[in-house]
Chains A and B, each alone.
Chain A
Amino acid sequence: MTASEYRPLLLKNLHRSDSATLEAYLQSGGYRALARALKELTPEQVVEEVKTSGLRGRGGAGFPTGAKWGFMPKGPGEKYLVMNADESEPGTFKDRLLLERDPHLTLEGLLIGCYAVGCSHGFIYIRGEFVKGYHTLLRAIAEARAKGYIGRKILGSGFDCEITVYRGAGAYICGEETALLESLEGKRGHPRLKPPFPAQVGLYGKPTTVNNVETLANVPMIVENGGNWYAGIGREKNTGPKLYCLSGHVKKPGVYEFPLGIPFRELLYEHAGGMLREDHPLKAVVPGGSSVPILRADQSDVRMDFDSLAAAGTLLGSAGVIVMDDTVCIVDALLNLARFYAHESCGQCTPCREGTGWYVQILERLERGEGKSSDLDLLVDLSDRIQGNTICPLGDAVAMPVRSYVTQFREEFEHHVRHKKCLAATAPAGV
């Protein structure tokens, strides 16, 4: 099957203007997978199907979902499953699309997940700014409850499950699962030390699993068609459909669904219409959200899956694909991101709290034309001191782009130091 013949699985309902309604969802076979899980499968069998499918988490880390569920203690007791809808990684806007346009797909995935891990109260942690998505979810939950998909003895089975939607209030760090749990407990979003992992000590100290929206949206099709069917989509160890978010200097930015492993160049030039302006070619691409290492145009002949991008020295992350043409000043782009991470650092760990501020100061002076040649090594040295030395991955998430921008585009940084201005085609320093 070539990508051009590919029929969407995650976005299959979006051609309907009423795709967010229960009626539309049921007409496309919605909630059949939940019924199958409850009537034909034990929770352990659902976990096994998901393990067989090879589904890896779509939030950024790519951890196998079935294995994550398998870490939850068996048997009765207070446990929680949380759908992470705190989508905040710069360049990423796929979960918002699912929440606003196909909320029942995400709910069905969450309910099956709750059944699989033995949890009777699921949470959805949605970022506070997603007001439309929040109200869409509330409506969908009310519809689903009225038809017996949520609540007591779901579809006549012995399974009870309540769903509560929790609004965040503007903090990138709450997308990190332990910060999210702190926030859900009504606290500042300060990440927790691991171990203990949430599967042992999570929400209210009870076993908890946190799964990304897109991850859970894959679950109904796995339960309905089987793990083996799902494992046939995409590539070995990188299975299933994937939502790619294209932004930046692209002719047709947006969310594209293809099997994992689609070549980046095919995605950009055949599906997204190519570069925004014919006379400004590709200069660089960030393939997985702002936190992953950047690739130069000459390195962009890559497949878009977890293992191919890792082999290329970067990450699939959240598949937020940020495309830059030759008008971009790389120092300027990095300063934009450094400011983001400095603002979003929770302040708990010294390397991240202080280091992100240093990055901003150094990059600002490079932009002003006051940079020193030693600044380039200082940026890389800072990254070495931050990465791996903080409680949560936010430190790594800023250290990786900084190190890669400086390394991949070193001559551009040197040009800033020597000539006190940009090397880029049109953007002058400081604009």
Chain B
Amino acid sequence: VNPSPGTREKIEAAIREYPRQESALLAILHLLQQERGYVSEEDQKFASERLGIPIAHVAGVVSFYTMFRRRPMGRHHIQFCRTLSCQLRGCRELIEHVQKRLGIREGEVTPDGRFSLVTVECLGSCGTAPMMQVNDDYHEGLTKERVDRLLDSMK
């Protein structure tokens, strides 16, 4: 069953937090993505029906916000910050390094589904640049060696 009973329960709790239920749309999409790894068309239909809002509205929201993914990504989804402060501290070299190491380009997933890589705009961690976010976690003050150790530890 999709979404699972556990996710459905969290969705109902999210809806109760807001004075108007349509405010829960982003929270619902976050929960659906957490379960599936991305937001599918089926998920969008579910959100649309649960909140009583047009599917076009849901699709518009999903495509507007960069955190919502519309296709499966790796188990470890790497988001490398590319904005100015990180660039000044060498993120381009590190992004090139990660691409070579994983054998994928930006936007791709490794064939074993272990890693995916995208570059993203400023993650608000400029004082510890260069940095990347892998799934929910920030990894800051990166060097090639530190990136290698982190990637090795992610199975």
A: residues with CB less than 8 A from B are 78, 87-93, 95-96, 121, 127-132, 164, 166-172, 183-189, 204, 245-249, 253-255, 290, 320, 322, 324, 328, 333, 336-337, 340, 343-344, 346, 431
Closest A residue to B17 by beta carbon equals A164
Given contacts A90-B85, A168-B65, A249-B88, 16 further A-B contacts (CB under 8 A): A93-B125, A93-B126, A168-B26, A169-B26, A169-B29, A171-B64, A184-B23, A185-B22, A186-B51, A188-B61, A246-B127, A255-B127, A322-B85, A337-B83, A340-B83, A340-B121
Q: A93 vs B123: C-alpha distance in the bound complex, in angstroms?
A: 9
Q: A94 vs B15: C-alpha distance in the bound complex, in angstroms?
A: 31
Complex interface residues of chain B between 31 and 61 (CB less than 8 A to chain A): 51, 53, 57, 60-61
* Contact A188–B138 (Cβ < 8 Å): no
Closest CB in chain B relative to A268 CB, distance in Å: 14
CB-CB under 8 A from A245, the residues of chain B are 126-127
Complex interface residues of chain B between 135 and 151 (CB less than 8 A to chain A): 136-138
CB-CB under 8 A from B2, the residues of chain A are none
Q: In the complex, how many residues of chain B place their beta carbon closer than 8 angstroms to a beta carbon of chain A?
A: 45
CB-CB under 8 A from A130, the residues of chain B are 124
Closest B residue to A337 by beta carbon equals B84
Q: A248 vs B88: C-alpha distance in the bound complex, in angstroms?
A: 6
Q: A286 vs B66: C-alpha distance in the bound complex, in angstroms?
A: 26
A170-B66, A247-B85, A247-B126 given; A183·B26 CB < 8 A: yes
Contact of B121 among A247, A324, A343, A431 (CB under 8 A): A343
B87 at the interface (CB under 8 A from A): yes
B30 at the interface (CB under 8 A from A): yes
Q: A255 vs B122: C-alpha distance in the bound complex, in angstroms?
A: 16
CB-CB under 8 A from B136, the residues of chain A are 131-132
CB-CB under 8 A from B25, the residues of chain A are 186
Complex interface residues of chain B between 1 and 25 (CB less than 8 A to chain A): 17-20, 22-25
Closest CB in chain A relative to B13 CB, distance in Å: 12
A129-B133, A322-B126, A340-B122 given; A187·B61 CB < 8 A: yes
Closest 7 CB pairs of A and B: A169-B65, A186-B25, A247-B126, A170-B66, A170-B67, A247-B85, A131-B136
Q: A346 vs B64: C-alpha distance in the bound complex, in angstroms?
A: 8
Closest CB in chain B relative to A181 CB, distance in Å: 10
Closest CB in chain B relative to A335 CB, distance in Å: 10
Closest CB in chain A relative to B110 CB, distance in Å: 23
Closest A residue to B141 by beta carbon equals A253
* Contact A247–B20 (Cβ < 8 Å): no
Encode B57-101 as 1/0 by CB contact (under 8 A) with A. Answer: 100110011111000000000010011110111001000000000
Contact of B129 among A188, A253, A333 (CB under 8 A): A253
Candidate in A121, A247, A320 with the most chain B CB atoms within 10 angstroms: A247
Q: A184 vs B17: C-alpha distance in the bound complex, in angstroms?
A: 12
* Contact B26–A188 (Cβ < 8 Å): no
Closest CB in chain A relative to B108 CB, distance in Å: 19
CB-CB under 8 A from B53, the residues of chain A are 186
Q: A431 vs B27: C-alpha distance in the bound complex, in angstroms?
A: 40
Q: A167 vs B136: C-alpha distance in the bound complex, in angstroms?
A: 13
Closest A residue to B24 by beta carbon equals A186
Closest CB in chain A relative to B128 CB, distance in Å: 7
* Contact A322–B18 (Cβ < 8 Å): no
Closest CB in chain B relative to A397 CB, distance in Å: 13
A91-B126, A184-B23 given; A170·B65 CB < 8 A: yes
* Contact A167–B27 (Cβ < 8 Å): yes
Contact of A166 among B22, B26, B68 (CB under 8 A): B26
Complex interface residues of chain B between 96 and 122 (CB less than 8 A to chain A): 120-122
A167-B27, A343-B121 given; A92·B126 CB < 8 A: yes
* Contact A129–B84 (Cβ < 8 Å): no
Q: A164 vs B25: C-alpha distance in the bound complex, in angstroms?
A: 15
Candidate in A89, A90, A167 with the most chain B CB atoms within 10 angstroms: A90
* Contact B65–A96 (Cβ < 8 Å): no
A91-B84, A96-B125, A172-B121 given; A129·B67 CB < 8 A: yes
Closest CB in chain B relative to A223 CB, distance in Å: 27
Q: A189 vs B88: C-alpha distance in the bound complex, in angstroms?
A: 30
Closest CB in chain B relative to A11 CB, distance in Å: 13
Q: List 5 A-B contacts (CB under 8 A).
A: A78-B19, A91-B122, A169-B30, A171-B64, A245-B126
CB-CB under 8 A from A91, the residues of chain B are 84-85, 122, 126
